[in-house]
Amino acid sequence: MSLSLALCFDAPMQSWGARSQHIHRDTAREPTKSGVVGVLAAAMGVPREDTEKITALAELSLGVRVDREGLVERDFHTAQNVPNTEGLGHRTVISHRYYLSDAVFLVVLEAEGADQEALLRRAEAGLRAPAWPLYFGRKAFVPARPLLHASEPADRRDHPSGWGLSDLPLRTVLMTHPWLEADDSPHRLDGRPRGEDAPRPLRAVIDCDATDERAEIRSDHPLSFARGDRRFASRSFKTLDIPLTPAMISPGDRSCS
Amino acid sequence: MFLSRLTVDVTSRNFRLDYADVHQMHRTVMSAFPDLDAKRTARAHCGALWRLDEHERGFVLLVQSRLEPKWAALPAGYLTAPPDVRSLDPFLRLIAPGRKISFRLVANPTRAIHPPGSVPGTRGRGRPVPQRLPAKQVEWLARKGEQHGFVLPVGRDGQADVAPAPRPGLRGRSDGNTITIEPVRFDGHLVPTDVEALRAAVLAGIGRAKAYGCGLISLGPAREAG
């Protein structure tokens, strides 16, 4: 028996720094584990110094399906009175801050064992009534739609969002969850008559074993978010192609229009 | 030589997928050309170079090629305007000895890292890593100029008349390998010293990652301070 939590990350702007250093604040093309853990922690009201709870959240397995690829944009940003590492030499600094515009992700977390399942249920409850505001990478980048369905998964007609909790393994959720692209979105139609050649698959990145031959490494497994003591371990993930099936495009009893 | 300007529809799902995977973008560009020569790569055979330029509210895909492209092969809905294909010759005619020309180039400046203890030049070419410092990037371009017959004029401030700007990193997958490129956009002026060498460089592109949106030099009349 597995328990997984499917969330919708949709916002006009999102930023998921993975290797940012100094004046170069980059973004990954999909949410990072530290970013997702941060969102859950904010929802549950876990303070950044509570390293124990943060590491417990980071142990959940993560899979992200890219339902709409974002465009990378760069902000021209200046910060004044920035001191050097010795607290001296205040000067104005220009930084490059990247963000993703117009991206939509299906973020799925999977729990293993009773402890993790209880944690995931608490996270879900937190997301329904967040303790602190939720945002995607920067405080101004607020979600565009609820992360979770308000009602039963079967009825996504009015407001498609993430399924929320389900008794399915992570991979099954990634393969079957309805596409989060809105029915009338221009991204969806693509000028291709329906039924003509199969749509191109969705990219997904999923936690995997470090020994997997397709494993990539990213240093975004949070160990501590404490002020002055932010630490990350490396995480291995791999990229999969998820076929975009008609069942995902037109779920339930919807007939093709 | 042909130069195509393609105004991309940013809401096209096919474009978004290509944008997220530079190898797919390469394949989309190459779909306009026939597969011919087995010995050289198809890209080199067609003389195809491309660059994705930000443009008002979206992107313009510039493609330079020796063969005439057939853009009807693009997926439906990929473009918002019909392809604009013209001859490259007027731009090549700008190249005259000593004449200042403005240019734009998105390139992949790299430096080689040699294993510790090895004598550079004795064990292959070293592992290429992105050159991230702006001053070193200009140095890289000046070195390319020595190879390809141009120099960077000096502006009033005594610095080379070129501005390097970082571009978002490109990622892609090809046969299970991950491609990562950190391109840099150079805008500025150049002065030809060897017309034939510069013409050849414009036709063939300069630097690494020519299949992945790097190396295309666009030329224009010099911008004079007014």
Which pLDDT tens digit goes with each residue over A148-158?
Answer: 987 665 555 55
Exposure on the CB side of residue A79, measured as CA atoms within 13 A: 12
Question: How far apart are the CA of B176 and the nearest CA of chain A, in angstroms?
Answer: 7
With a CB-CB cutoff of 8 Å, which residues 41-100 of chain A face chain B?
Answer: 66, 68-69, 71-72, 74, 96, 98
Long-range contacts of B111-120 (CB under 8 A, 24+ apart): B111/B136, B111/B140
B166 and chain A in contact, CB less than 8 A: yes
Dihedral angle at the C-alpha atoms of A17, A230, A43, A9, nearest 10 degrees?
A: 10
A29 and chain B in contact, CB less than 8 A: yes
Alpha carbons A148 and A158: distance in angstroms, whole number: 13
Model confidence, pTM: 0.89
Report in angstroms the alpha-carbon separations of B112 from B121, B127, B167. 10, 5, 21
Token digits of residue B172: 């892609």
Residue of chain A nearest B77, judged by CA positions: A191
Q: How many CB atoms lie within 10 A of CB A25?
A: 20
Instruction: Among A181-195, A200-214, B157-171, B205-219, name the one with the lowest average pLDDT.
Output: A181-195
Using a CB-CB cut-off of 8 Å, the residues of chain B touching A190 are 12-14, 75-77
Instruction: Say yes or no for a CB contact (<8 Å) between A190 and B21.
Output: no
pLDDT at B198: 96
H or E segment to which residue A234 belongs = strand A231-242
Residue of chain B nearest A196, judged by CA positions: B76
Dihedral angle at the C-alpha atoms of A154, A160, A164, A167, nearest 10 degrees?
A: 40
Identity of the residue in A29, A68, A96 whose CB atom sits nearest the CB atom of B171? A29
pLDDT tens for chain B, residues 1 to 226: 999 999 999 999 999 999 999 999 999 999 999 876 666 778 888 999 999 999 888 899 999 999 999 999 898 889 999 999 999 999 999 999 999 999 999 999 999 888 777 776 666 677 889 998 999 999 999 999 999 999 999 988 899 999 999 898 899 988 878 899 999 999 999 999 999 999 999 999 999 999 999 999 999 999 876 5
Exposure on the CB side of residue B174, measured as CA atoms within 13 A: 13
Task: State yes or no: ipTM above 0.95.
Answer: no
Token digits of residue B86: 């013209």
Q: Sort strands A24-25 and A91-111 into parallel, antiparallel or unpaired.
A: parallel
Q: How many CB atoms lie within 10 A of CB A111?
A: 22
